[in-house]
Amino acid sequence: MSTANDTYDLVVIGSGGGAFAAAIAARRKGRSVVMVERATTGGTCVNTGCVPSKALLAAAEARRSALEGRRFPGIRTEAGPVDFDALIGGKDKLVEQMRAEKYTDLAAEYGWDILPGTARFTGDRDNPTLEVALRDGESRRIEAAHYLIATGSTPWAPPIEGLEETGYLTSTTAMDLDVLPKSLLVLGAGYVGLEQAQLFARLGSKVAVIARSRLTSGEEPEISAALQDVFADEGITVHTRTRLTAVRRDADKIVATTRTGDGRELQLRAAELLVATGRRPVTDGLDLEAVGIETSERGEIVVDEHLRTANPRIWAAGDVTGHPQFVYVASAHGALIADNAFDGAARTVDYHHLPRVTFTTPAIASAGLTDAEAIAQGYTCDCRVLPLGYVPRALVNRDTRGLIKLVADAATGRLLGAHVLADGAGDVIAAAVYALANEMTVQQIADLWCPYLTMAEGLKLAAQTYTRDVTKLSCCAS
């Protein structure tokens, strides 16, 4: 594609999931596109987020399974020490392969250029342009009918005494270590902190987690409590209702001073500290004010329901908007923006049945409202909790750690939320998403077909608890 005139229908800043979804959708409409990326093509998900972390989690789970081989009678397995350098090398090769297949090769196939450089807005609100400082030292001025900011987010650390001077790991740098740390402190108990804590513990590190409230505080309390028991069984120490107040380095150890909820001071020591306290939007250097774009106190780009910024020719997608930080949200944003920008579709995004998954083992998956959220919205809730001990798939797996909780409207029986802690929870929640999207009742879910000896059957069984005692059903009775 010729780029001589430097004028396009769409300029995309960033090259992650949202950026590519928008570019592909625009090219399918016959629109000209150019993309600007200041770092590595592919964004967070393929380079430093979903793909590498889940690849390492799968490896860690394989090792854990080998160490626990006696779970099944007649089966004995063992696991030796981890060749950490080889493990990281394998992860890097997978990332390189997927980056090529799902990103750089696709851009070439659809016919748009990816400019390696740093972008900033110039001009004014009525006539925005983009100045791109290329890595080779040259610069280009680009004009477009529409601009999309899809620059994502980056790990954020709170202001803690001594933290910057001592140094710390993030979810990004932890997966690029050369040597497995003998011990690790994890600050933060959201999905990133929990996944990383279990990952390193299963590879052989001694791990402790510092949580300001409880584990995965955005989930149902029953799930938090059950997961804490899992962590305890795996030797992971959890300090709940605890704040990190100061950090220093003492020889080869990091010393973390903490304060518990009852006011006690406790010092924790480890070889490394991993800070997993959330992420913040990446907007530095864009000169957003020059073209009239507004940001919030946390730095998110303010957009309307159609994802348009205060400048009618500039849009934003994904993490940079402050919406839920999932790659599938960013991708949905990108496709929507192409329709809204070029077709005037006025599309919006419905988040009410948006699923989320934490890839611990067992995994956590949720969609819809929690019990507390439903009450806050004025519902009278009718909730049921089904332990996995009553799910045949969990019994044959010989792993009944976990539960399924359903939140329903007591007045109508309509499902309001589903929350799962189980092996394969992410697959189970997909069925709940369809039920929520179609405003099904728990009775309708209870009456649907569901294949026997699947974990998804647990969703049907949980729905059946509203009208019967499932402990008194035969294995495949409906």
CATH number of the domain at 448, please: 3.30.390.30
Same domain, 127 and 191: no
Same domain, 368 and 399: yes
Same domain, 13 and 88: yes
Look at the chain and report how many structural domains it folds into: 3
Q: Indicate the pairing of strand 363-368 with strand 355-358.
A: antiparallel
CATH for 114:
3.50.50.60
Q: Indicate the pairing of strand 265-270 with strand 253-260.
A: antiparallel
Domain annotation covers residue 2: no
Q: Is 262 exposed, middle or buried (0-12, 13-18, 19+ CB in 10 A)?
A: exposed
Same domain, 46 and 72: yes
Domain annotation covers residue 348: no
Q: Is 198 exposed, middle or buried (0-12, 13-18, 19+ CB in 10 A)?
A: buried
- The Cα–Cα gap between 80 and 339 comes to 53
Same domain, 201 and 286: no
Same domain, 104 and 185: no
State pTM to two decimals: 0.94
Domain annotation covers residue 349: no
Select from 315, 343, 371 the last residue of a domain.
343
Domain annotation covers residue 258: yes
Domain annotation covers residue 474: no
Same domain, 246 and 292: no
SS3 5: coil
Name the one residue in this structure whose structure tokens are 């052989």. 204
| One-letter amino acid of 19 | A
Tens place of pLDDT per residue across the chain (478 aa): 334 348 999 999 999 999 999 999 999 999 999 999 999 999 999 999 999 999 999 999 999 988 877 678 888 888 888 999 999 999 999 999 999 999 999 999 999 999 999 999 999 999 999 999 999 999 999 999 999 999 999 999 999 999 999 999 999 999 999 999 999 999 999 999 999 999 999 999 999 999 999 999 999 999 999 999 999 999 999 999 999 999 999 989 999 999 999 999 999 999 999 999 999 999 999 999 999 999 999 999 999 999 999 999 999 999 999 999 999 999 999 999 999 999 999 999 999 999 999 999 999 999 999 999 999 999 999 999 999 999 999 999 999 999 999 999 999 999 999 999 999 999 999 999 999 999 999 999 999 999 999 999 999 999 999 999 888 777 765 6
Same domain, 272 and 296: no
Domain annotation covers residue 207: yes
Domain annotation covers residue 118: yes
Select from 294, 319, 343 the last residue of a domain.
343
CA angle 280, 284, 288 (to 5 degrees): 110
Same domain, 11 and 25: yes
Domain annotation covers residue 113: yes
Select from 219, 250, 277 the last residue of a domain.
277
- Number of Cβ within a 10 Å radius of residue 44: 26
Kindly report the backbone phi and psi dihedral angles of residue 454, in degrees, each rounded to the nearest multiple of 5, phi listed first.
-120, 155
Same domain, 379 and 304: no
pLDDT at 151: 98
Alpha helices in 129-273 (DSSP H): 163-166, 171-174, 191-203, 221-233
Distance, C-alpha 256 to centroid of its chain: 27
pLDDT at 476: 64
Own/partner contacts of 430-439, CB < 8 Å, gap of 24 or more, are 430/355, 431/456, 431/459, 432/355, 432/367, 432/368, 432/459, 433/353, 433/355, 433/367, 436/352, 436/353, 436/367, 436/368, 437/353, 439/414, 439/415
Alpha helices in 308-391 (DSSP H): 327-343, 371-376
Q: What is the largest CA-CA distance in the chain?
A: 74
R_g over Cα of the chain: 24
Same domain, 12 and 53: yes
Same domain, 146 and 288: yes
Range of the domain at 17: 7-154+280-343
pLDDT at 72: 83
- Number of Cβ within a 10 Å radius of residue 157: 16
Kindly report the backbone phi and psi dihedral angles of residue 224, in degrees, each rounded to the nearest multiple of 5, phi listed first.
-60, -45
Q: Is the peptide bond before 362 cis (omega within 30 degrees of 0)?
A: yes
pLDDT at 1: 35
- The Cα–Cα gap between 164 and 174 comes to 16
